[in-house]
Amino acid sequence: MSTAKHRMRDKKMKNQPINVTYSSQGSSHWRNGGDTPTGRGRDPSPHPRGQGSSHSGHAQGESWVRGHQREGQGGYPQALPKHITASAFAKARAAEVNAMVTAVTKTTGSSHVFGALPKHMRRRAMSHNTKRLPCRLRDMANNMLEKSQKSGQKVKKEQSKSKSRKARRRHGNVLLEFNRRQRKNLWLETHIWHAKRFHMVKRWGYCLGDGPTYKCYRACYRAMSSHCLLQDMSYYSCVELQGPEDQLLATLSKLTSKEAGPTFAAAVCVSGRKQGSVVVYRAGQYPLQPLGPVTFLWRPRAQGRGQEDQGSQGSTHRQLWIWAHPTMKTDLLPELQAVCQCSEAVLPPGPVEHPVPQPAPTPTLGPGPGACPEAVQASASGSKRKWSSREPEAAGPPAKKLLGYSTISSTTPVTWRSSTTGIVISDLTMEMVRYRLIGPLSHSVLTEALAPATHCDATGKSRPSPFWWPDHCRDDCNMSLHQQQAGVFNMLKGVYSTAEVPAGSVLGLTVDDPRLTLPNKRSKAVSDVRKAQGVNEERMRKRRELMLKGIPEPLSQSSLWDRSVRDNVTHNKMTDQEVNRLRNDVLVPGSRLPTPLQGRVPVLLVQQSGKSQGTEMGSWGTGWDLLLPKAWGMAFWVPLVYRGVRIGGLRMSLKHAQNKGEPHFPHDYPDCPAGARFQEEQEAELLAKFRRRPPAKRTNYIKHGCLAPFRCPWQQLAEEWELIVKEEGGGEEAVAPMEQEVTPPQSNFTVLRNRKSLRQLSAWCRPTSSKCQRARNLGSTPQLNRNVAASLLSAHGGGSSLVWTRLSLVAKGQPEQHALVCVPTAEDLQLVRKEPGCAGPQEPLHTDHFKSRVKRPRKKDHIKPENKQSDPASTSIPSVNPGPDPSSSSSLTTLSSSCTSALTLGLWPEPLPSVTSHCSRVTLGWVTQGDFSLSAGCGEALGLLSLTGLLHTLLRQPESQRGLVLLRNPGSLQYRFAKINIEV
């Protein structure tokens, strides 16, 4: 009998009575009480239990098998016992009954009360509901349940009873929850609308919509090309500067340079007619240390306002708005304070405008000074909610909805002044709402959704009013200006496309509450050109003048610049409940609602230029920016949506910049602090995503010859190209065998933004359209030679500069992010000359020498103590820069004598070898954004190239093939031919 069978038999017979033993012969006789050979019912064998014989009844030398055996094979005997002894039979049965009772009543290993039940009565539901237990065990189970609950009370706090859904959905509680959830990430006024339809992401301290939950990539492109796309850009930070004009221009001139384009002092921008854009640098550091691009808007000069004497010189008091990306605000605001010498902080006067949200509303007798205007109006009108009359303890004013920059403390200053320069800096972040409409019919959407404000009657002008519009109407000059602005706004209805209006034009306007003219059904706004064809000649002349000269300077004025007007409009906004009550009381359903005095809103319309580079689809992506006071976001958002616009998120902002061929901040600004931080965060995100995949499903970038698939080492690229030019002296043959001999000095790279130099590079590269080459008038551009290239390099940091380029694939292909841009060899140029549509060369497959060091060793393999590794995913081994040939013995030998770093299968360890000579083609730069461009009809990429490498390449290419490069994706071995486009 095997050992396993013995253990099984012993397990089954362990609860049998110890005074009953069984033998292998005659068992059927004595187990029923028959006489044993000794005449008694017990086995006279003196062997104790477990020694020699077992209580299971089998002899030590004999075997026992489960089940009945066949006859003649040691089975049970067939003969029945001849007689039964009553006493022995009763003792045997009594012992068996006692053993059975003991087995039933004995609890299991756990001392739980449910173990006292028989196995057939034990149910899992009894542990949740003690009433399912028998009555005799319920008290014991309840006591155990109380003990378990008391033991956890020391660690866990007693949870309060949750409110009912009806209580949670009350207006005050909803607002409190709305305010509480914004303590960490700010919400825009359209957050609830986006959260129901978009994938929300946390970016730059805000909770923003990244993309819709439905497929809309091509639909959004069609909207930008033929209709209108709407985006909420309110997360952009606004900084206001006030002071003498000469002081503002003098201080801001330290942050810019005329070599990079128009500055804050551009005549068209200073007048207030147009919006300007400029790249801001640290004070006096151009072309080094850029901060990033900003857009600015000057307040137009108004007659009879703002003329003040500043000391001995007369100067006009001006107001300037600077709009910047939220990641740039932390760098821009301290720089502006340092330049303008604004170190004196000004605390906000009066009551706190945005109180910290409390856990529950404080009951008061009436609306206090800090209560919202909605509460004041509700109490004045006598309208109360149903639950207020039933619950007197909650009859106080409703909770106040936080508006603006609510996460900062109430004591944190947002205004700084300077006693030396007279400049005042104010942080207007989240104080205004900014919507962006992109598309040729953006003006049609605006003209249908907005209506110029109606005039006040004589009665409204004479009476004193707490609203701003009646006081504004008392001045005839203001009403004359409003009529002119309304005439220009109505003139936009006859414009075919938004691109016909000059880029950057600014139009100030006061409109009625758009909720009063909300249509019953959602419709699509169309151009009104057919109706405009029958107008008189005077109107046609004014329209042509508008298209040629733009909007006059006086018409760019708006009351939105005044803080008092903005606060008045924000605090006196009608609630949706009041608007619905007006809509319910109208006699004719669908007619225009009467406009109350608080229903006039000052706005600003700013024209955004479209695609200005290249020849394909000029002025693509033009639109309008709509600036509103805060608290009016949803009041304008819903009417715009009802005009058939398509809504876009952060993803569409990036695609809009790609189709326009312009750099997008902070993705394409690696020389700025915000761009550097973004690239670090992006690298960590992509690396974490790469490591989450199984090793067998990852791309082995080492075999594909890609050193940095998740980042672009710009500094190393600029330094290596500078060494190449210095060492070889102009020969391309010396590039490939270059090794890391001398560590170059640390130098910060910059992106070339000098317009004169960019025009020269554009002419030398012979810019082309997306697919075919076009001629270009070089004009006064000098011919490219070594002396001109050397002078250009010396003028821009000696080779540490990068050039922003747009790459268009010649044949098929779709570029990806972080793709390599390489220099074609003479054989490649000869190949494309013979076969213009050829696919391009291929990179030979590289060898992964780090795979054996990352692979987990097997147990059967012999592992030496010094080669044992703890984690195969991140193995700590010595590694150095192996140079261009990692398979060499010297590289592998020095691998064990350098600093340690974590190895990941398929990725090169730090530090990286030579990024220029690692592959068979010399690396020239990388792609920051790439995709198939629907506007150009081919694959396009946006990236940065080394200025030294670009001039080095252009000097060695024939004139007919200048600007031709190779492009290869990180996970591919196939090179594609592409053309360089540098257009200013």
Per DSSP, the three-state class of 443 is: helix
Tens-place pLDDT, residues 614-649: 666 778 889 999 999 998 999 999 999 999 999 999
The answer to which of 77-81, 95-99, 302-306, 346-350 has the lowest mean pLDDT is 302-306
Q: Which residue has the tokens 């110890």?
A: 18
pLDDT above 80 for 163: no
Of 393, 326, 316, 318, nearest to 361 by C-alpha is 393
Residue 95, Cα to own-chain centre: how many angstroms? 77
Residue 173 lies in a domain: no
Residue 707 lies in a domain: yes
Domain around 418: 235-301+317-346+413-429
Tens-place pLDDT, residues 767-818: 544 444 444 555 567 788 888 888 888 888 766 889 999 998 988 888 999 9
Q: What is the CATH number of the domain that holds 327?
A: 3.30.70.1400
How is residue 761 written in tokens? Answer: 């590079």
- For the entire predicted model, the pTM comes to 0.73
Residue 931 lies in a domain: yes
How is residue 517 written in tokens? Answer: 């003219």
pLDDT above 90 for 60: no
Residue range 425-437: mean pLDDT, rounded: 92
Four-residue CA torsion sign, 933, 936, 940, 945: negative
Q: Which residue has the tokens 């939950």?
A: 213
pLDDT in the model for residue 386: 41
Counted domains in the chain: 2
Higher per-residue pLDDT: 920 or 179 = 920
pLDDT in the model for residue 775: 46
pLDDT in the model for residue 784: 82
The answer to which of 295-309, 684-698, 840-854, 866-880 has the lowest mean pLDDT is 866-880
Residue 623 lies in a domain: no
Binned at pLDDT 50, 70 and 90, residue 111 comes out as low
Tens-place pLDDT, residues 262-295: 999 999 899 889 999 999 999 988 888 899 999 9
The answer to which of 21-25, 738-742, 754-758 has the lowest mean pLDDT is 738-742
pLDDT in the model for residue 873: 41
SS (H, E, C) 684-727: HHHHHHHHHCCHHHCCCCCCCCCCCCCCCCHHHHHHHHHHHHHH
Identify the domain boundary among 429, 464, 491.
Answer: 429
CA dist list (Å): 818 to 654, 719, 943, 981: 16, 19, 9, 18
Four-residue CA torsion sign, 582, 583, 586, 591: positive
pLDDT above 50 for 871: no
Identify the domain boundary among 366, 396, 429.
Answer: 429
pLDDT in the model for residue 709: 92
Identify the domain boundary among 373, 405, 429.
Answer: 429
The answer to which of 366-370, 494-498, 632-636, 846-850 has the lowest mean pLDDT is 366-370
Higher per-residue pLDDT: 499 or 369 = 499
Beta-bridge mates of residue 649: none
Q: Where are the beta strands (DSSP E) in 229-303?
A: 229-232, 237-244, 276-281, 290-298
The span from the CA of 669 to the CA of 665, in Å, is 6
Residue 618 lies in a domain: no
Residue 105 lies in a domain: no
Share of the chain above pLDDT 70, in %: 73
* Burial degree of 380 (CB within 10 A; 0-12, 13-18, 19+): exposed
Instruction: Determine the number of helices (DSSP H) and then strands (DSSP E) in the chain.
Output: 31, 26
pLDDT above 90 for 327: yes
Residue 834 lies in a domain: yes
pLDDT above 70 for 89: yes
Residue 216 lies in a domain: no
pLDDT in the model for residue 19: 54
The answer to which of 61-75, 88-102, 936-950 has the lowest mean pLDDT is 61-75
Other CB atoms closer than 10 Å to residue 674's CB: what's the count?
Answer: 22
Q: To the nearest whole number, what is the mean pLDDT of the chain?
A: 77
The span from the CA of 302 to the CA of 556, in Å, is 10
Q: Which residue has the tokens 């106040």?
A: 400
How is residue 786 written in tokens? Answer: 């070594």
Higher per-residue pLDDT: 73 or 119 = 119
Angle between helices 714-728 and 947-955 (to 10 degrees): 40
The alpha-helical segments, DSSP class H, found in 62-209 are 86-105, 135-151, 165-168, 171-180, 191-195
Higher per-residue pLDDT: 39 or 474 = 474
The span from the CA of 766 to the CA of 982, in Å, is 9
Phi, psi of 512 (to 5 degrees): -75, 165
Binned at pLDDT 50, 70 and 90, residue 527 comes out as confident
pLDDT in the model for residue 642: 93
Q: Which amino acid does the sequence have at 505? A: S
Higher per-residue pLDDT: 979 or 80 = 979
Residues in the chain: 984
pLDDT above 50 for 391: no
Binned at pLDDT 50, 70 and 90, residue 445 comes out as very high
Tens-place pLDDT, residues 905-955: 888 888 888 888 888 999 999 999 998 888 778 888 999 999 999 998 888
pLDDT in the model for residue 640: 94
The span from the CA of 295 to the CA of 279, in Å, is 9
The span from the CA of 923 to the CA of 784, in Å, is 22
